[in-house]
């Protein structure tokens, strides 16, 4: 490599507001020191996660990072040889020799090396010894608590997407395709689209009914979305079904992005179909109020998610 590089390092699952601050600091220092900014992450998480636990897929994570102005993303294999390196070996072999880095930016909670034996203080000591600049960025907080990916996962598991979105800095989202359903909603006068998520490793919100945005063909549509079983019809398998407030048509096989904005109720079992329709109509009125009167924070597609 001809140009020495500066880079931030981490898992970056979700690319939340704390990660975004790391990227901002990296870009600012790169400009001042005339260095090429890069981001170093891992192909799999350095903390082993359960299935369906990721906030962002690898491609989604890279997409958001590129939208934040970092063109080069280096993905390191983990686990593997790197997992067995000491902190000093990681700095020497990976950061210095492989990546030609002269300055490293990490968060205050950064851990690295075999068995997570090194932290940000360790990195600063090694950096002084090896003449590598190290900048440690304080953690961002939300409601006086540090923002981290695990806290966001917990909020999503609890259905509190409002809290999760505040920590992410954009609405939590899923991607997939629209598939044929049983057309039951059409017979009730409330036609819905059945959504099939694209990646089984990505987290879904807690079952319930949500105010959402659906991104179709580059356009955002206000919507109301049910995720989970349909006990009124004795269908206990989880599914995702959405009603678009201002658009209709045949969407089969189209790619979608669903942005989760606010949870409004639990999944319920109704005695009759009429009771279900009445509740859906109340849900629709609440959703219309949300978009018309409450001036939601996510009135458009955030720049971080453009061209998804």
pLDDT tier, 308 (very low <50, low <70, confident <90, very high otherwise):
confident
pLDDT at residue 46, as a whole number: 56
* 70 plus 124 within the same structural domain: yes
pLDDT at residue 246, as a whole number: 83
Question: H helices within 73-225, ranges in order?
Answer: 87-89, 120-130, 149-157, 161-168, 184-187
8 Å CB contact between 224 and 284 = yes
How many distinct helices (H) and strands (E) make up the chain? 8, 15
Could you tell me if residue 203 is inside a domain?
yes
* 102 plus 210 within the same structural domain: no
The answer to whether residue 187 scores a pLDDT higher than 80 is: no
Residues 221-238, mean pLDDT to the nearest whole number: 87
* 243 plus 288 within the same structural domain: yes
Question: Where do we find the tokens 């000591």?
Answer: 125
The answer to whether residue 218 scores a pLDDT higher than 80 is: yes
Greater pLDDT, 32 or 79:
32
- Residue 199: which domain range? 174-302
The domain that holds 67 is classified in CATH as: 3.40.50.620
* 46-58: pLDDT as tens digits: 565 565 589 999 8
Could you tell me if residue 232 is inside a domain?
yes
Q: What is the DSSP string of 50-110?
A: PTT-BSS-HHHHHHHHHHTT--EEEEE--SSTGGG--HHHIIIIIIIIIT-EEEEEEETT-
Greater pLDDT, 181 or 284:
284
The answer to whether residue 291 scores a pLDDT higher than 80 is: yes
The domain that holds 239 is classified in CATH as: 2.40.30.30
Could you tell me if residue 167 is inside a domain?
no
If you average pLDDT over every residue of the chain, what do you get?
90
């Amino acid at each position: 490599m001809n140009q020495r590089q500066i880079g931030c390092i981490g898992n970056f699952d979700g690319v939340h507001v704390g990660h975004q601050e790391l990227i901002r600091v990296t870009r600012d220092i790169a400009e001042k020191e005339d260095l090429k900014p890069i981001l170093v992450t891992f192909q799999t998480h350095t903390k082993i996660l359960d299935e369906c636990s990721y906030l962002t897929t690898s491609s989604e994570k890279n997409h958001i990072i590129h939208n934040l102005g970092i063109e080069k993303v280096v993905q390191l294999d983990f686990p593997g040889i790197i997992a067995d390196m000491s902190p000093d070996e990681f700095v020497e072999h990976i950061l210095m020799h492989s990546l030609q880095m002269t300055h490293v930016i990490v968060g205050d909670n950064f851990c690295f090396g075999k068995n997570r034996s090194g932290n940000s203080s360790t990195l600063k000591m090694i950096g002084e010894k090896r003449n590598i600049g190290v900048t440690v960025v304080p953690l961002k907080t939300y409601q006086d608590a540090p923002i981290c990916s695990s806290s966001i996962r917990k909020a999503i598991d609890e259905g509190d997407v409002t809290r999760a979105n505040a920590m992410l800095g954009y609405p939590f989202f899923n991607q997939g395709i629209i598939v044929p359903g049983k057309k039951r909603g059409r017979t009730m006068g409330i036609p819905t689209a059945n959504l099939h998520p694209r990646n089984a490793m990505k987290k879904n919100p807690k079952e319930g009914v949500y105010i959402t945005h659906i991104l179709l063909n580059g356009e955002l549509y206000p919507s109301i979305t049910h995720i989970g079983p349909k006990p009124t019809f004795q269908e206990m398998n989880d599914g995702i079904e959405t009603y678009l407030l201002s658009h209709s048509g045949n969407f089969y096989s189209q790619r979608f992005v669903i942005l989760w904005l606010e949870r409004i109720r639990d999944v319920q079992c109704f005695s009759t179909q009429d009771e279900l329709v009445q509740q859906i109509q109340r849900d629709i009125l609440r959703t219309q109020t949300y978009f018309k009167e409450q001036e939601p924070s996510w009135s458009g597609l955030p720049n971080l998610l453009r061209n998804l």
